Chains A and B, each alone.
Chain A
Amino acid sequence: MWRRSASFILDKHQNNKPISLTPSIGSPPPLSASVADENLNPNHISAYYQTRAAHHEIVTSDWLEQAQAAVRRYLDQDSPVSGRPFSVIEEFDNWRQQPALAEAVAAIRALAAVIRASEANTMMELEIELKKASDTLKAWDTTSISLTAGCDLFMRYVTRTSALESEDFNSAKSRVLGRAEKFGEISNKIIATLSQDFIFDGCTILVHGFSRVVFEILKTAAQNKKLFRVLCTEGRPDKTGVLLAKELAKLDVPVKLLIDSAVAYCMDEVDMVFVGADGVVESGGVINMMGTYQIAIVAHSMNKPVYVAAESYKFARLYPLDQKDLEPALQPIDFGVSVPPKVEVERSARDYTPQFLTLLFTDLGVLTPSVVSDELIQLYL
């Protein structure tokens, strides 16, 4: 849509020269090379999607290795600059390697580690230190919404706690630490329990991608002896849908795999759609794995409800106006065949679903999309 303006073409022309990000990158090899070269700017690949790919053991090419090397080099450069013996990012990276841990939780744990390691004597100092740490974390991967949101939420909490000046520093510190622990415990269990009422016997659920919360919901439903069927999309390019199908099959839930383009074909037998979220934004829309928006549109046109499962630390004070209004999180895409030169590849890993969502299952309760903004205002203001 933004291409419509004539001036855009001009700007694009100018932009292309210095940055060389969007120009016709053909196949993955030249791409990875360019990324490795420009290792100063690791934002070209979303770190989140790297780890995710590593967790799911699907990435085949050596691309990932190179990219990670790039990131590591970046970190090596960064840490002497910050000049502190303790690095948040290392801590964060450690936590992040655990597949069961959401990124925001990893971030908060890392921040908690900062508190533990800090030698601050006053709340003010601690706050400043935390602020620095969270800024580094946020700057480390600007594309990750839940990382940013998690950091912001935690900072918010710390500043609010310190507003209660009456208590002494140590108890405040331990309280903040306790809070950090709690964040990690924001369990999918609550969400899973809340959502059980919506899964009825004999229903067919379409799931897109692999989301921990959605999996938890389905697992709980299966444990509750509900009879339901799940249709899993394949979830290209990292094939997370296949993973989910595998996990569900282990639980003896009837599963069917579809290719991503078969969603509309199968929609008539679907009773509800479940998706996770990378981030929930202020408009009540969600940012999630590529393909969510089109599933929501198809579901809406066939009057099927779309349910989003997300923890409250994914709520972000963002308000994208359209798809391109976000910093794109890029991911490697393996087309199986070599992409002819001069062909551009859309490598964005996620899209923004601004509407057509029915309800959000969160640990704050089952919310309509318009309540998200309400909650956000209360959380942040």
Chain B
Amino acid sequence: MDPRRGPLAVPKVRRVGFFTSIEPSPETPRPNRSLSGPAEAITSSSPLSDSPSGQFISPVQIPPSRHHSDNLASRAAPVPVPGPSAFRRQLANDRTLHVGSYNPVDSLLGTSPPSSNGEVSEDSGSLFGFQRSDSAKLSASFPNGGFNMTVAVRAPRESEAKVAIASTSDGRKKNVEASGESESVATKPRKEKETKSLKEKTSKAERRAIQEAQRAAKAAAKGEGSKRAGESSRPKPSKPAKQPQPKKEAPQVTSSLSEKRAVSVEKERRMDVPQTQMQYDDKSRVDKAKRRSVVEQTESKNKVELFLHLPQYERGNQLPNLSSNIFTLDTIHHAVYKVGLQHLAGDIAGDNARCIAMLHAFQEAINDYTTPPMKDLTMDLTAKINGYVSFLIECRPLSMSMGNAIRFLKNQIRKLPVDLSEPEAKASLCSEIGRFIDEKILLADKVIVQHAVTKIRDGEVLLTYGFSCVVEMILLYAHEIGRKFRVVIVDSRPNLEGQKLLRRLVTRGLDCTYTHINAVSYIMGEVTRVFLGASSIFSNGTLYSQVGTACVAMVANAFSVPVIVCCEAYKFHERVLLDSICSNELGDPDAIANVPLRNNKKHSKTMDNNKNLQFLNLMYDSTPAEYISMIVTDYGMIPPTSIPVIVREYRREDLLL
């Protein structure tokens, strides 16, 4: 009924996480689902969870069923029910449906803006490492079969425009989406070549060729994600042509497609978001990226299995390497170089700080930029910025907010009037960047502080986790205007960022309690409000923040303490995030291996060489929307369900379109 803060006994999304592959089939999926009984078996997913082959899936299926069964259970409003025949066919086919059963999820999410598809698929792919290959084969071998009626089941309920499409093609499309995602890891390079060669055939202008070269150089770093986003955001006729029925349609469709859309695709790709992560388990791409990379990195030996898609490098040797190179490299502007080094060394932490530093560096770089002869400022500068961005990614994966800022900048470059002279263009770009920093970050913070302070009453106990500069500003301001409250700072190893906050608050005379996250369930009893910072918030309301945030939010929720997230609107992201796996950052594994104060030198030595030991130092985690009571942003206080509204209404002018 109210998905945001519904009954919380079921941490749906969290179950998707980390442990799925380790503990094969968890106890019982969900109380709700067992309640739903045979009458509700019509929901496309529940028959599967009962079927023997579905036992691995069951935890992961939870997201789709949340929508359907909740509706069924709690509403009197009629829900269209598919005919019995569809149901029967589905049951008969349920063995083949492993991947197909994701369709509801995929397409639910697929309707949300562009690049969500890629992410979801990555998720299912990595979760089913062991299932991936054969289920993909199975699904590929049923060109229409099983998937058709999952669509039929879904379609009336969703009542999308898609219904209009003939069911065969629709089914095929689903099929591809499902099988294609899991296959994609393997087939990616091949696909790539295909498209590339096609393009070369059809391309006429030499400008295109130049772009091609540029793109080949840059694309790898920005990763397949962006590419896929580009593809998936358009209507999909090209995809089915590539996979299940290649004989008939493939040549015509792809060629006509490439002619028609080549230009627009190219354009879109150029201005698309630099993805924060490329899939690092994709060998060929990693190799490609390595060839161009500025930073020399050696892959760490004991990689964490579940997180192979994230970069895992040995720490400690990049920085000296880079700093010795600083005078020999001329492709990267020195300001950007400096910021990169600072990111790498961890001198700048915190999303806002990183973002501002990056934008300032870009400002400087643009100031020093001169268009080479025979080149167009728009294109050349975009290419330059792309180069800088991929350098920064090598130093440290970008945060979501930085991705948004970069997108903004590129959009500004793209929108530059053609008749502007170079100095004018540069000046306007610099002022735009300055405006972005002022309005979207600094001013936004002030507005957030004003809003959030209204929620602090006298006599309250506020809990905050880690370090967030907005939360710090709120607390200090509330103290300044004379509110009487107490602060509990919860901190966690290995960064211990909370100490910084503690020091600042205590020197300003606030009443503080400092504790580690281990004690959060104890301290929560006396807390009245939880204030959290955010790295990003996604369209489904999922909060992406420093690791441990989800834990704090969940404990707060169990104690029915309101959780208030403070986040500037420029950090909102139109993608959808379901778990903490597919999009994350890995920190230095040594940081968690080495405990200070304990002389564990020889201890760690044995640990280093142990093949069976993998250190996982996650930097972020995701908190589902239902654990968040309120989001304070520059547009006021909104529920997490309103993130897409903000993204839709207010970001259009800055970003795409």
Contact = CB atoms under 8 A, between A and B. Distances in A.
B271 interface: no
Nearest to B486: A7
Given A2-B460, A7-B461, A358 B638 contact: no
The 4 closest A-B pairs by CB, nearest first: A11-B459, A370-B641, A319-B637, A373-B642
Contacts, number: 114
B146 to A, nearest CB: 32
B18 interface: no
Interface residues of B, number: 42
A356 interface: yes
Contact of A7 (B455, B459, B646): B459
A95 to B, nearest CB: 30
Given A7-B459, A7-B461, A283-B630, A303 B638 contact: no
B84 to A, nearest CB: 25
A369 B642 contact: no
A8 interface: yes
Nearest to A319: B637
Given A1-B561, A284-B2, A319-B637, A358 B74 contact: yes
Given A7-B484, A354-B5, A381-B636, A325 B455 contact: yes
Interface of B: 1-6, 73-77, 455, 457-461, 484-486, 525-529, 560-562, 564, 629-630, 635-639, 641-642, 645-646, 649-650
Contacts of B525: 4
Given A1-B561, A4-B526, A5-B528, 4 more contacts: A283-B629, A283-B630, A374-B645, A377-B649
A10 B646 CA distance: 41
Contact of A303 (B73, B461, B645): B73
| Interface bracket on A | 35 or more
Interface string A111-131: 000000000000000000000
A124 B642 CA distance: 33
Contact of B1 (A10, A15, A300, A325): A300
Nearest to A374: B645
Interface in A270-312: 271-272, 282-284, 300, 303-305
Contact of A355 (B6, B527, B561, B630): B6
Q: Which of B77, B526, B642 has the most CB of A within 10 A?
A: B642
A61 to B, nearest CB: 32
A377 B635 contact: yes
Contact of A321 (B484, B486, B630): B630
17 contacts: A1-B560, A1-B561, A5-B459, A7-B485, A11-B459, A282-B639, A305-B75, A305-B76, A319-B638, A355-B1, A355-B4, A370-B2, A373-B642, A374-B642, A377-B636, A380-B636, A381-B650
A8 B461 CA distance: 9
Interface of A: 1-2, 4-8, 10-12, 15, 198, 271-272, 282-284, 300, 303-305, 317, 319, 321-322, 325, 354-359, 369-370, 373-374, 377-378, 380-381
B646 A377 contact: yes
Given A282-B639, A321-B564, A377 B645 contact: yes
B163 to A, nearest CB: 22
Nearest to B650: A381
A5 B511 CA distance: 13
B76 A272 contact: yes
Nearest to B560: A1
B9 to A, nearest CB: 13
A10 B511 CA distance: 14
Contacts of A11: 458-459, 484
Given A5-B486, A317-B636, A325-B455, A355 B5 contact: yes
Contacts of A284: 2, 639, 641
B637 A2 contact: no
Given A282-B637, A374-B642, A381-B636, A358 B649 contact: no
Q: Which of B2, B529, B562, B650 has the most CB of A within 10 A?
A: B2
Contacts of A357: 1-2
Contacts of A374: 642, 645
Nearest to A380: B636
A373 B1 contact: no
Contacts of B458: 11, 15
Contacts of B528: 1-2, 4-5
Contacts of B4: 283, 355, 370
Given A5-B460, A358-B74, A321 B639 contact: no
A120 to B, nearest CB: 30
A174 B527 CA distance: 53
